[in-house]
Amino acid sequence: MNKIKLNQYIINAFTDIVFKGNPAAVCILDYWLSDEILLKITQENNLSETAFVVQTNDKYHLRWFTPGGEIDLCGHATLATAFVYLNYIIPNEKEIAFETLSGVLTVTLKDDLYTMGFPSYNLKKVDVTDKMKDILGVDIVEAYKGRDLLCIVNSKEEVHNIVPNFEKIKELDGLLVHVTAKGDKVDCVSRSFAPKCNILEDPVCGSGHCHIVPYWANILQKNEIVAYQDSFRGGYLYTKLNGNRIELSGKAVLFSKCEIYLDL
């Protein structure tokens, strides 16, 4: 049996305050382990996402796992991974590019903001159903479908107070369900629910804003959107829509660094 040691960091993304924002684990690998082992590490961490990175030559290959399995895009774990590399592994660099299931994702550090370029999702308007309203427990004004289901409600108070039926959310279309409304001190507020990924609520969802930002950019007729995720942890995203690409910017802070020991 071969014993290996892995370095892992836990980063709070989309905040500069520990215990706020969205925590992600970043696990540095010398080579790819089996998907079964990656999933077990993710489930042991019990965070919404764990990022795994393997460097080959000058390329960084990045994958994201939730406790329910691998996903194709994750904003906060990408920000967290960039934070780890640009602070602790290649601290003299200000930019890093990751090879991912969603293509090449580049993260740039300027001052204390990490800016990521993500693809935006095409939103198709869908009918609002009584089932949606009953499951989310709120009056829905409009609904749209991309990878996820996006539900528009009337007020930020409704977003803040929503208590959905988490088990029945699995019956709705989309991988995640996002509920959003216009903000006052910010352009929009939202919350993101992901029981299909074995996560009740994602505290700050980067990929969710690849749905949320295109909607509000169109409604507000502006390309730069400041968004607040009104979860129990909370977090801010500074975004810019450029055609079919979205710039997501945010801060990050180190919570912990540890070593993982495996017998393989």
Comparing CA positions, the residue from 73, 75, 38 lying closest to residue 53 is: 38
What is the rounded distance in angstroms from the CA atom of residue 64 to the CA atom of residue 200?
A: 18
CA 170, 172, 175: angle at the middle one, nearest 5? Answer: 70
Single-letter code of the amino acid located at 84: V
| Residue 2, pLDDT score | 83
Confidence of residue 194 (pLDDT cuts 50, 70, 90): very high
What is the rounded distance in angstroms from the CA atom of residue 174 to the CA atom of residue 162?
A: 19
The per-residue pLDDT of the chain, averaged, comes to 96
Please pick, among 49, 157, 247, 259, the residue that the annotation labels catalytic: 49
Are 65 and 24 spatial neighbours (Cβ–Cβ below 8 Å)?
Answer: no
| Residue 167, pLDDT score | 94
Domains for the chain: give ranges and CATH numbers.
3-118+249-263 (3.10.310.10), 124-243 (3.10.310.10)
Q: What is the mean pLDDT of residues 254-260?
A: 98
Q: Is the pLDDT of residue 148 over 90?
A: yes
Express each pLDDT in 61-78 by its tens digit. 999 999 999 999 999 999
Active-site residue flag, 49 = yes
DSSP code at position 26: E
Q: What is the mean pLDDT of residues 108-123?
A: 94
Q: Is the pLDDT of residue 1 over 80?
A: no
Q: What is the residue-wise DSSP string for 53-93?
A: EEEETTEEEEEEEETTEEES--HHHHHHHHHHIIIIISTT-
* Percentage of residues in the chain having pLDDT higher than 70: 100
For the full predicted model, state whether its pTM sits above 0.95: no
Q: Is the pLDDT of residue 264 over 90?
A: no
Q: What is the mean pLDDT of residues 35-46?
A: 97
| Residue 95, pLDDT score | 97
